[in-house]
Structure 1
Amino acid sequence: MLTASHASAAGRATRLAAPLLALALAVAGCSGDDSSGSGDGSGGGTPSGGGSSVQTTAKVRNVTGGRLSKHRRHAVLTQVTSVVDGWWDAAYLSSGGDDQDFPGFTTGAAKLAEGDRQIMTAAALPDGATDPVAVRRSVALDILAVHGRAAGVIATVALGVHTSGDTDRILAVRGLLQLSHDSGAWRVFGYDVTATPRVVGASPQNARPQKKDSDKKKGRS
């Protein structure tokens, strides 16, 4: 199973990074959930782009550090889910150019992701795979709230991509994304993502792991 793990000084994008993320964003005075929205921020789905037969299911799983209104939860959920969908559609389900693969990433995170294309894009698909179609799209958010506003987000994401070709396969993309509010929008600045292909009908235990010469751990420049 391929693993790409990059973030800024907080290291791997796990929940253990949340206190450092909260501190950094609180000092910077960042927030980004003022856009309109309604609802309680749990459940629901968003329309997905081309190359998909399912909608994205999205929910707010936890809010820590302080209170966050239903209105703000829904706004953050909508905005962050749109960022995740944009990455999935561009990187795994689109035939666009390489420079389109990481919309919604910070400049530093996009550069790191370029070095992990065999995980973070359709390059993870087996040779000969064609017609990628999403069969699973889910997003769950853990939100850090400071003074009634969303200061940072860790998104747990799962994408399933079905491909045709010589053999029908499923590519399972799972992991965590760290997001902060940057230049007027939520952006990914760190990630911990795996991509595992398997033949349709085969058990996950029998999936052939992809290989990589070495795993890299980098900080955002």
Structure 2
Amino acid sequence: MVLVGLAAAGCSGSDDEPEADTPTPTASSSAATPEVATDVSIGKLAGKLPTARRAALAGDVQQVVDGWIDAAYLAGDYPRTDFSDSWPGFTAGARATASRDGDLMSNKEIGASIDGVEPEKRQVVLDVLSVKKKPVGVTAHVVVRFATTGDTTKDVRVAGRLYLTKGTHGWQVFGYDVTKDAR
């Protein structure tokens, strides 16, 4: 298992517009967060997957990805310093690594100096590996943008990939390759 976390000061604009076949905007999973719809779509598909299963897969994976986005960046009371619950839907190993990468994988480094976040963009494109018409692996290409308010005002962009597999507890993140840029 390979887990990678990278912090970057600048990123190319190509991550802002991942290629996808059919965008399907759906509502965010968090009622506590100001509404910004998550734009979820299927990108590349290796193998065959019926259309109905694609829609169900997109909804299931979106719940996991939105759970992380909300817990780590957008939801909750600010100012705060506790981000220990920022990785729901992550395997135990990925959660431990993300906790060590807390400044990257959450608002840990700025949480105490902001009083809120204003979501601007939530985009997820799913590359799917399907075997015998069943999804067995997903790479979720994620772009999140938000602005912070309070003593620290920043425009933050989180982008990268979450690697998911389906286990006994449903879809879970087992690895990631994420960048975070704040200006």
1:82 equivalenced with 2:67 (yes/no): no
TM-score for both structures, normalised by structure 2:
0.81
1:46 equivalenced with 2:31 (yes/no): no
SS in 2 for 1:114: helix
More strand by share: 2
Alpha-carbon shift at residue 94 of structure 1 (Å): 2.7
- After superposition, residues 80-119 of structure 1 pair within 5 angstroms as 80-95=61-76, 97-119=82-104
Supply the AA of the counterpart residue of 1:42: T
Range 55-64 or range 162-171, more displaced: 162-171
SS in 2 for 1:105: coil
Range 186-195 or range 161-170, more displaced: 161-170
- After superposition, residues 134-145 of structure 1 pair within 5 angstroms as 134-145=119-130
**Structure-2 residue corresponding to 1:57:** 39
Larger CA Rg, structure 1 vs 2: 1
2:181 to 182, 196, 200: 196
Alpha-carbon shift at residue 53 of structure 1 (Å): 3.5
Alpha-carbon shift at residue 169 of structure 1 (Å): 1.9
Alpha-carbon shift at residue 165 of structure 1 (Å): 2.0
SS in 1 for 2:113: coil
Alpha-carbon shift at residue 44 of structure 1 (Å): 1.6
Alpha-carbon shift at residue 43 of structure 1 (Å): 1.5
Query: Once the two structures are superposed, what CA deviation does each residue of 1:147-166 show, in whole Å capped at 9, x if it has no partner?
Result: 11101000100111111124
**Structure-1 residue corresponding to 2:13:** none
**RMSD, aligned α-carbons:** 2.1
**Structure-2 residue corresponding to 1:186:** 171
Aligned partners of 1:166 and 1:191: how far apart in 2? 30
Range 92-101 or range 51-60, more displaced: 92-101
Alpha-carbon shift at residue 168 of structure 1 (Å): 3.7
1:12–1:102 distance in 2 versus 1, CA, 3 Å: closer
- Does the aligned pair in 1 maintain the 2:114–2:150 contact within 8 Å? yes
Aligned partners of 2:111 and 2:85: how far apart in 1? 21
Q: How many residues align?
A: 162
- Does the aligned pair in 2 maintain the 1:60–1:140 contact within 8 Å? yes
